[in-house]
């Protein structure tokens, strides 16, 4: 480990992107100003000895964020627990880029009823506060395994009531850019309390009075390609003002809920009497 850079040097760097290297492996990528590159020294989960390298300096903050995200996406360093800012725009497969840039916007005010929308995007997630991180594959990574892999990923198990599950007739699969890449017909929702690996589902939120107790979920046991054309397939879902209707924090959204929210965003026309 080299001596830290002096203040007169760090003052000249501006925003920069750095990486931490042990041997030939980059295990962490970050962006910062000043002495940020040295801030990880002594971390118990990092190697005791490693090399600090500045990838580029003299950047604007937005450019530094984009470069950081690109390096994390390509190098997949184990020390980064979350993907970089704007990571869905980095290292994109050609099919995904064609789908995203070729997608027409679809105002969810007019979305059909009975659709459960599942967003499948890559990244590191924390299922609940204090949990261990888990990594989710992107839509394109799953699609490379075949259509059955996509259907297995989205058929459940979803935290919704029996009434909601019975209303669902289709599952639409959105990628990280909210482009609807698949639409499946579903039926026969089944109440489950255990994952397919046998693990018991429990209420994870510490704010709930039922925290730690079994949590029923719904699994769609019959799923297959849509029997007819879907107006949202290949489109990018948007609210009337063009904003993102799918919150990344939620694993699924319901079409009738999105339509209700979107209808409230349209201005009401007042006719003078």
List pLDDT tens digits, range 180-208.
999 999 999 999 988 888 888 887 777 77
Which residue, 60, 89, 118, sits at the end of a domain?
89
Residue at 31 is within a domain: yes
Q: What angle do CA 154, 100, 245 make, to 5 degrees?
A: 60
Say if residue 126 is in the same domain as residue 158. Answer: yes
List pLDDT tens digits, range 103-152.
999 999 999 999 999 999 876 665 555 566 667 788 888 999 999 999 99
pLDDT value at 1 more than 80: no
- Residue 66 and residue 87 in contact, taking contact as beta carbons nearer than 8 Å: no
Say if residue 108 is in the same domain as residue 219. Answer: yes
What SS3 class is residue 22? strand
Q: Which residue has the tokens 């499948």?
A: 120
Q: What is the pLDDT of residue 215?
A: 84
Tell me the CA distances in angstroms from 88 to 69, 133, 176, one per residue in order.
9, 19, 6
Q: What is the pLDDT of residue 182?
A: 96
Tokens at 190, concatenated: 């089944």
pLDDT value at 71 more than 90: yes
d(CA 77, CA 25): 8
DSSP string for residues in 216-253: -EEEEEEEEE-SS--TTTT-EEE-TTS---S-TT-SEE
Choose the weakest-confidence range: 19-33, 42-56, 93-107, 211-225: 93-107
Q: Which of 18, 141, 144 is nearest to 72 (CA)?
A: 18
- Residue 122 and residue 176 in contact, taking contact as beta carbons nearer than 8 Å: yes
Say if residue 188 is in the same domain as residue 73. Answer: no
Range of the domain at 104: 95-263
Sequence-ordered list of residues with C-beta below 8 angstroms from that of 133, at least 6 positions apart, any chain: 81, 124, 125, 126
Say if residue 160 is in the same domain as residue 122. Answer: yes
Choose the weakest-confidence range: 35-44, 83-92, 95-104, 181-190: 83-92
d(CA 173, CA 154): 8
- Residue 100 and residue 236 in contact, taking contact as beta carbons nearer than 8 Å: yes
Total count of domains within the chain: 2
Task: Write the burial class of residue 87 (CB in 10 Å: 0-12 exposed, 13-18 middle, 19+ buried).
Answer: buried
Say if residue 117 is in the same domain as residue 205. Answer: yes
Which residue, 47, 67, 89, sits at the end of a domain?
89
d(CA 210, CA 63): 45
The arithmetic mean of pLDDT across residues 213-238, rounded, is 93
Say if residue 171 is in the same domain as residue 104. Answer: yes
């Amino acid at each position: 480990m080299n001596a830290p850079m002096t203040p007169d040097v760090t003052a000249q760097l501006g925003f920069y992107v750095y990486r931490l290297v042990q041997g030939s492996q980059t295990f962490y990528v970050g962006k910062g100003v000043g002495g940020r590159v040295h801030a990880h020294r002594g971390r118990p989960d990092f190697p005791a000895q490693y090399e600090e390298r500045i990838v580029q300096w003299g950047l604007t903050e937005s450019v530094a964020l984009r470069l950081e995200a690109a390096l994390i996406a390509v190098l997949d360093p184990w020390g980064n627990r979350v993907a970089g800012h704007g990571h869905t725009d980095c290292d994109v497969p050609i099919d995904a880029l064609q789908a995203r840039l070729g997608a027409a916007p679809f105002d969810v005010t007019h979305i059909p009823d009975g659709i459960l929308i599942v967003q499948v995007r890559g990244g590191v997630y924390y299922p609940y506060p204090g949990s261990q991180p888990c990594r989710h594959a992107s839509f394109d990574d799953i699609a490379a395994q075949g259509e059955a892999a996509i259907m297995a990923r989205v058929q459940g198990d979803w935290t919704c009531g029996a009434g909601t599950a019975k209303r669902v007739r289709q599952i639409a699969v959105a990628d990280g850019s909210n482009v609807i890449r698949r639409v499946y017909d579903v039926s026969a929702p089944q109440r489950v309390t255990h994952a397919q690996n046998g693990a018991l589902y429990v209420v994870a939120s510490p704010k709930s009075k039922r925290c730690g107790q079994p949590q029923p979920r719904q699994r769609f046991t019959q799923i297959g390609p849509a029997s007819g054309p879907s107006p949202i397939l290949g489109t990018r879902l948007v609210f009337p003002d063009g904003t993102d209707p799918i919150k990344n924090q939620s694993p699924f959204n319901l079409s009738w809920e999105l339509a209700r929210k979107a209808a409230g965003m349209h201005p009401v026309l007042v006719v003078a009497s």
